[in-house]
Amino acid sequence: MRSKVLSRREFLHLTTAAALGAVATACAAPTPQIIEKTVEVEKVVEKTVEVQVEKTVEIPVEKIVEVEVPEGRNEPPMLEALVKAGQLPPVDERLPMVPFVVGGRDAIGVYGGEVRQIHFDTVWSTDTYDWMSDRMMQYSDADFRTLVPNMIESWEGSDDGKTYTFHMRKGMKWSDGVDLTTEDVDFWWNKWATVEGLGWVANPFSGIQSQRCELEILDDYTFRCTFDYTFGLFPHMLTRNMGGYPQEGPFMPAHFLKDYHPDFAGEEAINKLMAELGMETWQQVTNRFCSQWGLNTWQFPDWAKDFPTLAAWTPKQYPSDGLIIFERNPYYWKVDLVGNQLPYLDTLRLDYMADQQTMELKLIGGELDWLGMHDVTVAKYPLYKENEAKGNYVIGDYLSCMTDRYTLYPRRTLSKDPVLEEIVNHPNWTRALSVAIDREEINESLFFGLARMGQMAPMPNSAYFKEKYGSAWAQYDPALANQLLDEMGLTKGSDGIRVRPDGKPLSYMIEHAGIRVGASVNEFCEMVVTYWREIGIDATGKQIDESLYGERMMANEVECGIWHADRCTDMLLPIQMQWYVPVADGQQGGVSYAWQQWYAAEDKEAEGLVTPPEEIQQLFTWVDEIKLVVSDDERVAIGQKIFDYLADTPLAIGTVLESPCPILFNKNMRNVPRPKVPFGWDTYGVNTYHPAAFFYEGGERA
């Protein structure tokens, strides 16, 4: 029942360490002309230094290299004909005055080439969004702690953490060539986000417990956000904000969307659209275009080819069902060290895959150039290694902050079974289920001994981490598990299955969403079911559709769910704590959607709410305090109060503390992330590593 596909000894004999040494393939480039303004790679302008002092980073970090913004610009060959024909302005007129300079790469790249990728869903893509997900700010990929202006040029924050001023890049343009200005911010805020019946104030602009900020437009390129309380985490939270996509703000293409807003288009035009689209209200029409969740990032409807974006590539063709061709954005706002406008790569191709087997055949056949964080798993490492040469790809040596980090979520509020709910809320329940799991056997069977197993906790390289967090209730001790359950009065019947207080056999169902959670989640679930049956629980597992899984989670009907435990690095952990404390996202993980609803409610006494225990309310208080304080040291100290509690009384059950993330990419691809860096939702996948700077040696894939 617990046999391995390949033993660790056999696996190590089969494989060798994949070296990803930097390949410095610099092309001949002219000496750049220097202009007066200097910037820092990953920081962009000197003004941000003031903010770095204010942020206070105590942990030693790698030095961010200072470079000068090159004056000369080089035209991508793909666009030369359009420029000569007068259909496109020259590159100097398409770039902002101060573009973002991408440095710290292995080499100056060359233009050309297509990247063949995949997506598993006909409606939306979880596989490739990281190539499109630029944000207002991000963390430097040199140390993963330094805040970096990205879409914006610079920012300042007040000492009290209440006021933040943002300076946009003058001359930065949407993908259709229209200037990005504070008019776009004003439209998002005053014509959509804060209008009843339309949008919502996206986190973080909603602040703590929905206390909204005051947003002021200061001039065409400057806006200010003010809170009436200290909100120290606000600039950090902007690293999760995909600027240029309407559901997130604060950048919204006002010139495009005005045609769908009655304040600009007029009542007659909106009524006509209502009839054409079969809608009953003007709000439905406006939201049809303004609230497309993840438009051109997660979702790519046919009409979105015309939707202006700020991404490096934009969807241009839909040759067949499920196939999308992205082309370079001629107005993309990043350059390399010698002034070449990015991206280097001309096109991206996204093919719909009906199943993982089809994807693997394409990979082996050399028909894919990139498999990202949602598509790879250590469990498939032998397959990857055996076909590496044939498939013309390289196996990346990265640390996962998502993939393969399987976590079990015993649900604490069960709408249909109050007896089981009482059992699950006993502190012994989660402790017993945790120590009943043989994590090392899972490691050997699914991860070939390459993972570091442990309890759900921050990654070991996090400032929040303590050794006890990873080891708490993570030892394999079925005798202790039986003892803990015996202490609860859950005695075993003649068949070895424990009996509930109401006399029924103690059954327990694990539900999950299959490959959306991870490639080996079915095998993982089978192993856990076996361990739990050995301690007298009639455990079973079941894979269901992701949408149904989400519905059942939010209806408090799932008894135990599985999701991958991302949000485990300093980049994201303090911003999104929901896997540790149920403050958000009731569809994927977390231990109680009902507790989450209570936390989010302004009126805690409202009818229908489930009041969580006092200790859970204390965890909620600490989560809010993490957002308030300005000092990183204070933030970490508060966070460790949460993890100290969870080390004694775990809510969820983690199994993998750290594991490899074997991203696969064409062996000619250069400027890829350096080995051993984190990869997952915390890094926005590959986006933190500037995929616009990736290129093929010689301009062509292997």
The 10s digit of each residue's pLDDT in 463-505 is 999 999 999 999 999 999 999 999 999 999 999 999 999 999 9
> In this structure, what token pair is assigned to residue 333?
């706002």
pLDDT at 13 over 50: no
Residue 130 carries which side chain, given as an amino acid letter? D
Residue tagged 């952990």 (tokens):
573
Please check whether residues 503 and 474 belong to one and the same domain. Answer: yes
SS3 assignment, position 106: coil
What would you measure as the largest C-alpha separation in the chain, in angstroms?
85
193 DSSP assignment: I
Please check whether residues 581 and 697 belong to one and the same domain. Answer: no
Q: What is the pLDDT of residues 656-693, one digit of tens each?
A: 999 999 999 999 999 999 999 999 999 999 999 999 99
Does residue 142 lie in a domain region? no
State the pLDDT confidence band at 322, using cuts at 50, 70 and 90: confident
Please check whether residues 673 and 649 belong to one and the same domain. Answer: no
Kindly report the CATH number assigned to the domain that includes residue 12: 3.40.190.10
State the pLDDT confidence band at 209, using cuts at 50, 70 and 90: low
Question: How far from 234 is each of 137, 204, 328, 462, CA to CA, in Å?
Answer: 11, 6, 32, 20
State the pLDDT confidence band at 318, using cuts at 50, 70 and 90: confident
Does residue 207 lie in a domain region? yes
Please check whether residues 577 and 597 belong to one and the same domain. Answer: yes
Kindly report the CATH number assigned to the domain that includes residue 214: 3.90.76.10
State the pLDDT confidence band at 139, using cuts at 50, 70 and 90: very high
Please check whether residues 654 and 668 belong to one and the same domain. Answer: no
Model pLDDT, residue 14: 34
Please check whether residues 372 and 447 belong to one and the same domain. Answer: no
Between 197 and 154, residue with greater pLDDT: 154
For the chain, helix (H) and strand (E) counts, in that order, are 23, 28
Residue tagged 């953490």 (tokens):
161
pLDDT at 53 over 90: no
Please check whether residues 546 and 590 belong to one and the same domain. Answer: yes
Does residue 549 lie in a domain region? yes
Please check whether residues 693 and 622 belong to one and the same domain. Answer: no
Phi and psi torsions of 69, nearest 5°: -70, 120
Q: Say how far apart CA 582 and CA 596 lie, in whole Å.
A: 5
Burial of 194 (0-12, 13-18, 19+ CB in 10 A): middle
State the pLDDT confidence band at 242, using cuts at 50, 70 and 90: low
Does residue 53 lie in a domain region? no
Cα end-to-end span (Å), the chain: 41
Structural domain harbouring 220: 152-301
Which range among 115-119, 237-241, 420-424, 631-635 shows the weakest confidence by mean pLDDT?
237-241
**Residues with Cβ < 8 Å from 548, sequence gap 6 or more?**
none
Please check whether residues 638 and 686 belong to one and the same domain. Answer: no
Does residue 524 lie in a domain region? yes
What percent of the chain shows pLDDT beyond 90?
72
Please state whether beta strands 347-352 and 324-328 pair in parallel, antiparallel, or not at all (unpaired). antiparallel
Number of domains, the chain:
3
229 DSSP assignment: S
Please check whether residues 227 and 325 belong to one and the same domain. Answer: no
SS3 percent helix, strand, coil of the chain, rounded to 5, is 30, 20, 50
**Residues with Cβ < 8 Å from 677, sequence gap 6 or more?**
141, 144, 398, 399, 683, 689
Does residue 456 lie in a domain region? yes
What percent of the chain shows pLDDT beyond 70?
88
State the pLDDT confidence band at 207, using cuts at 50, 70 and 90: confident
Nearest Cα neighbor of 683 from 426, 398, 388, 276 is 398
pLDDT at 62 over 60: no
SS3 assignment, position 41: coil
Residue 196 carries which side chain, given as an amino acid letter? E
Q: Per the omega criterion (within 30 degrees of 0), is the bond before 330 cis?
A: no
Please check whether residues 646 and 672 belong to one and the same domain. Answer: no
Nearest Cα neighbor of 70 from 381, 271, 340, 323 is 340
Model pLDDT, residue 563: 95
Which range among 203-207, 215-219, 236-240 shows the weakest confidence by mean pLDDT?
203-207
For the segment 563-572, the average pLDDT, to the nearest whole number, is 93
Please check whether residues 434 and 420 belong to one and the same domain. Answer: yes
Model pLDDT, residue 39: 36
For the segment 344-359, the average pLDDT, to the nearest whole number, is 90
SS3 assignment, position 696: strand
**Residues with Cβ < 8 Å from 369, sequence gap 6 or more?**
114, 115, 116, 117, 393, 665, 666, 669, 701
Q: Do residues 560 and 510 make contact, with C-beta atoms less than 8 angstroms apart?
A: yes
**Residues with Cβ < 8 Å from 320, sequence gap 6 or more?**
none
Q: Say how far apart CA 110 and CA 117 lie, in whole Å.
A: 20
pLDDT at 161 over 60: yes
Model pLDDT, residue 44: 37
Q: Do residues 251 and 243 make contact, with C-beta atoms less than 8 angstroms apart?
A: yes
Nearest Cα neighbor of 128 from 388, 315, 389 is 315
**Residues with Cβ < 8 Å from 127, sequence gap 6 or more?**
117, 118, 119, 120, 350, 372, 374, 375
Between 15 and 552, residue with greater pLDDT: 552
Model pLDDT, residue 47: 32
Model pLDDT, residue 4: 32
Model pLDDT, residue 360: 92
Q: Do residues 333 and 99 make contact, with C-beta atoms less than 8 angstroms apart?
A: yes
Which range among 32-36, 176-180, 335-339, 527-531 shows the weakest confidence by mean pLDDT?
32-36
Does residue 147 lie in a domain region? no
Q: Say how far apart CA 245 and CA 311 lie, in whole Å.
A: 10
As a whole number, the mean pLDDT across the chain is 87
For the segment 519-530, the average pLDDT, to the nearest whole number, is 94
Does residue 54 lie in a domain region? no
State the pLDDT confidence band at 247, using cuts at 50, 70 and 90: low
Model pLDDT, residue 10: 37
Between 591 and 200, residue with greater pLDDT: 591
